[in-house]
Amino acid sequence: MAVCTMREALNQALSEEMERDERVFLMGEEVAEYQGAYKVSSGLLQKFGPKRVVDTPISESGFAGLGVGAAMMGLRPVVEFMTWSFSMVAYDQIVNNAGAIRYMSGGQYSIPIVFRGSSGAGLQVGATHSHTPENWYANVPALTVITPGFPDDAKGLLKSAIRSNNPVCFIENEKLYGFKDEVPDGEWIVPIGQARIRREGNDVTLIANSASTHVALGAAGKLAANGISAEVIDLRTIKPLDLPTILASVAKTNRVVIVEENKPFAGWGAQVAYEIQHRSFDHLDAPIERVTGLDVPQPYARVLEQAVMPSEERVIAAAEKSLA
């Protein structure tokens, strides 16, 4: 085991996969000469050269489309968006091209492409740079959507994503790039589509992803001090969704709080709530609670921004309400 940051874990995954398979290359804004906007690609240009680490113009639609074409021709591109908030400029390429070409070609083309980059609020970057779009892309049948919250998962899931023959949206939370934790040495692969129980509990299940998992874990620690045992599930992958792990926890605790940074309307938590009530209604002893970002554009002012985002206090209140 070695302790490293999230950005270092992602860098390891990219480097190892580029060494393993010469078809893998990285492209995006500032990934080469500047070493990445968040330094995730640090050292890769020097190691692999400008044909495999490619700086692009500020044209997300252009280089996303170029990546789709490269994938159709047998390469395995990793396309970095400086922020997923900018992916809306490339929505047509991600959804209608990467997301539909395999189906519309009758399986003649595979699209082994990874779109990755930062997302999320909390660092005072304003409403246009603070989106958490995993639910948008999970609505597209062909897209895999991954949202790691810890360095070991970031490394293992990115390696799995690069090896996948399907298009993957790999959504990293900007607040977590400097978060440190242990990452196993050597080859480390995390299977796509498996949630992880981060904390065992018996009284209430907290379901979260990405940075919200850390909020849920903090709330679980404070609930424990009051005699409430909370189980914390880190989804890791939004699409496909690990329903067996979720339903097994619900059958044990009989109460659920869903924690997501995104806005409440049509968030991934709404789908999870539907699946639980549809498949495990008889196990529920209380209505499902959701703690989300508030339904407003993300404020710039720090005090307002923190008020809009999920907090440990709001999660604790939701858990206590479900147990009342």
Catalogue the active-site residues.
60, 129
The Cα–Cα gap between 143 and 137 comes to 7
- Contact in structure between 38 and 93 (CB atoms under 8 Å): no
The Cα–Cα gap between 128 and 39 comes to 22
Provide the b/e sequence for 230-246 (b: ≥16 CB within 10 Å).
Answer: bbbbbbbbbbebbeebb
Q: Cα 38–39–41 angle (5° rounding)? A: 120
Q: Is 159 exposed, middle or buried (0-12, 13-18, 19+ CB in 10 A)?
A: buried
The Cα–Cα gap between 241 and 20 comes to 29
The pair of structure tokens assigned to 219 is 């709330």
The pair of structure tokens assigned to 55 is 């700086």
Q: What is the separation of C-alpha 253 from the centre of its chain, rounded to a whole number of angstroms?
A: 26
CA distances, 51 to each of 24, 32, 44, 48, 213 (Å): 11, 10, 11, 8, 37
The Cα–Cα gap between 197 and 24 comes to 32
Name the residue among 269, 285, 186 with its Cα closest to residue 233: 269
- Contact in structure between 97 and 140 (CB atoms under 8 Å): no
